[in-house]
Amino acid sequence: IIKIKLDNPIAKVQPNMWGVFFEDINFGADGGIYAELIKNRSFEFAKPLMGWSIQRKKANEGEILVVNRKEINTANPRYLQINNENGIFGITNEGFKGIGVKKGLRYDFSLMYRQLNPGIKLHLQLLSATNKVIGEGSLNPENNGSDWNKQTASFVATETDPKAKFSITFEGKGKIDLDMISLFPGNTWKGRKQGLRADMVQLLADMKPGFIRFPGGCIVEGTDLANRYQWKNTIGPIEDRKMLINRWNTEFAHRPAPDYYQSFGLGFFEYFQLAEDIGSDALPILNCGMACQFNTGEVVALDELDPYVQDALDLIEFANGDVNTKWGKKRAELGHPKPFNLKMMGVGNENWGPQYLERLAIFTKAIKAKYPDFKLINSSGTDPEGDRFNLLNTSLRENKADFIDEHYYRPADWFLKNAGRYDNYPRNDTKVFVGEYAVHADSKVLGSNRNNWQSALASASLMTGLERNADVVQMASYAPLFAHIDAWQWAPDMIWVDNLQSYGTPDYYVQKLFSTNKGTDVVSITLDDKNIIGQDGLYASSVLDKTKKELIIKIANNTDKSQNIDFELDGKTKLKTKGTVEELANSNLNQLNSFDNPGAVSPKVSSISLKGKKLNTSLKPYSFNVIKIPFN
């Protein structure tokens, strides 16, 4: 008999307990949630015409140059110069692994141009994979002179093709400079111009995540300091956001993608806006003056750390400052006079060692002096049980860290064995943020495996241990979040997308079941007076939701047999007689979700009845169950 004590909550659940981890990895941002369809729109990739090809209808009658003005424009040095004498020629963009085009959908084209005299007209065409025209429009540049202009044109697609291309043909005599050649679908999230892919944001919104951690991950650190993430380069007009090679482009990625760059079209303002849209807390992670220790291991000299610390202070002002402050004003100019109410930030991603502690101390002193209540997340490296982790943890706790960020990518049996990991953790002021975790069949072969039902069930089992210890583990996020099916560097991932569709893996449904049933107070659930961490393959936790007035029991059955379970619900809380069960189950632990079968592992809802204070249910083999009983 499993006993639940209803009347004596043992811990509070933080409203933001279950969140998401966002990184531009696996084409998560560029080529993913950032809905731009043109790859290398401003010609700043290492190879300036990567993604583009040139079509000449008459040989050599057109001229095309990539011009570099890096002395006067460091953020966006290159543009394209078209010098058309007589001929007709065109340029074609291949998109990010093709362009996803939907029949009947509007496409919004825009560009920046400069011309002394009019003369050249642009024909715009979406071409199917077999070169059929499946949407077309035109643009007649209206302004002349030496200044840059922006102009837009829209047209509707006539067919669907997940692997289309986009071509611009230049007609007429003359010279024109072009930059920021851009194409977006007309159905972006909230209809925002040059915004985000609505289907991907919707999957996040449906999870009701407590926070969004961004922008990473390793891209925060960079392979070296020159290539670290700098938030100030990611706000304001998109043509002024300085592109950067993506860390997952380089030799340090498991599957490097040579065409992976960060346009920062999704920048810090958009991250804050996204968090606000879906009701999540923003959780930015900043570089602590150290590049990735697995890569170059470069650190900034201690006496040159100031600009890094200043970036952190300025970010708080950008998010929260009054519109009369320098950075608060900037936020208002970007369209958000109201503060974003930022409460926390991470200093460093996976950093460790004395170098980390020295730099962290300087950040902490400066930030706490100005914002005493602001919470800081400290890194604990990458090894959740090694000496390095223990040493660093001891120091961070001695220094009264607000949060320590633990990461684990480990096999399923490690997750099961660690479901009791936090039962005996120190109960002092320092809290745990499990900032990245996922079951990897073989943690030494990252990027080699997909998350099947076994990984999700093991995650769910461990997560009951996080929830049971919600007084210590106050936040958690699965990682990574998104992956493009044709362009990933790391797997497993929570959500897979192609150019038109997206689906959640079994892990997505586990995460969603936790975050949408988080409750407010943990109550004790035991088998023979012990926490349920593996007896008969069961893992369980239980919470009350005092707002919705519900008892919520989460229980995983990790065996290949059905289990008949009796619950005894002790206490004066007046439970109603009918409840529901949301069940994730599959007898095949290797079961995957896919584009063809996105719901192979997805929740099924049924009803359940109580007899007095007793509840009986049968748990399917290999199942995770969320039982909800309302109370008065």
Binding mask 215-234 for ligand AHR (x = CB under 6 A): -xxx----------------
Examine residue 553 and tell whether it contacts ligand AHR (CB under 6 A): no
**Which one of the listed residues 350, 436, 550, 583 is annotated catalytic?**
350
Q: What minimum distance in Å lies between the beta carbon of 267 and ligand AHR?
A: 18
Q: What minimum distance in Å lies between the beta carbon of 481 and ligand AHR?
A: 9
Out of 23, 44, 177, 259, the residue judged to bind ligand AHR by CB under 6 A: 23
Burial of residue 611 (CB within 10 Å: 0-12, 13-18, 19+) is: exposed
Q: What minimum distance in Å lies between the beta carbon of 556 and ligand AHR?
A: 24
Binding mask 377-406 for ligand AHR (x = CB under 6 A): -----x------------------------
Of the two residues 475 and 551, which places its CB atom closer to ligand AHR in the complex? 475
Out of 25, 124, 225, 316, the residue judged to bind ligand AHR by CB under 6 A: 25
Amino acid letter for position 352: W
8 A C-beta contact, residue 415 and residue 454 = no
Size of interface with ligand AHR, in residues (CB under 6 A): 12
Amino acid letter for position 89: F
Query: Which residue stretches of 371-439 are H helix?
Result: 387-398, 412-417
Out of 287, 349, 502, 517, the residue judged to bind ligand AHR by CB under 6 A: 349
Part in contact with ligand AHR (CB under 6 A); list of ranges 47-55, 214-222, 505-513, 516-524: 214-222
Per the annotation, the verdict on 350 as an active-site residue is: yes
Instruction: Give the chain's count of helices (H) and strands (E).
Output: 10, 36
Dihedral of CA 337/339/340/346: which sign? positive
Roughly how many angstroms between the first and final C-alpha of the chain, as a whole number? Answer: 25
8 A C-beta contact, residue 493 and residue 484 = no
Residue for token pair 């065109």: 90
Of the two residues 217 and 506, which places its CB atom closer to ligand AHR in the complex? 217
Cα 530 to Cα 521, 554, 559, 598, 616: the distances in Å are 19, 16, 19, 37, 20
Part in contact with ligand AHR (CB under 6 A); list of ranges 211-219, 357-365, 594-602, 612-620: 211-219
Q: Which residue(s) pair with 92 in the sheet? A: 53, 167
Task: Tell me, rounded to whole angstroms, the distance of Cα 77 from its chain centroid.
Answer: 29
Out of 94, 298, 350, 405, the residue judged to bind ligand AHR by CB under 6 A: 350
Q: What minimum distance in Å lies between the beta carbon of 94 and ligand AHR?
A: 27
Of the two residues 273 and 349, which places its CB atom closer to ligand AHR in the complex? 349
Residue nearest to ligand AHR (CB): 217
8 A C-beta contact, residue 288 and residue 80 = no
Site for ligand AHR in 475-494 (CB under 6 A): 479-480, 490
Of the two residues 154 and 443, which places its CB atom closer to ligand AHR in the complex? 443
Strand 281-286 and strand 403-410: the pairing is unpaired
Q: What minimum distance in Å lies between the beta carbon of 254 and ligand AHR?
A: 10
Of the two residues 349 and 430, which places its CB atom closer to ligand AHR in the complex? 349
DSSP class per residue in 306-371:
HHHHHHHHHHHHHHH--TTSHHHHHHHHTT--S-----EEEE-SS--HHHHHHHHHHHHHHHHHH-
Q: Where on the chain is the footprint of ligand AHR (CB under 6 A)?
A: 23, 25, 216-218, 349-350, 382, 436, 479-480, 490
Active site residues: 350
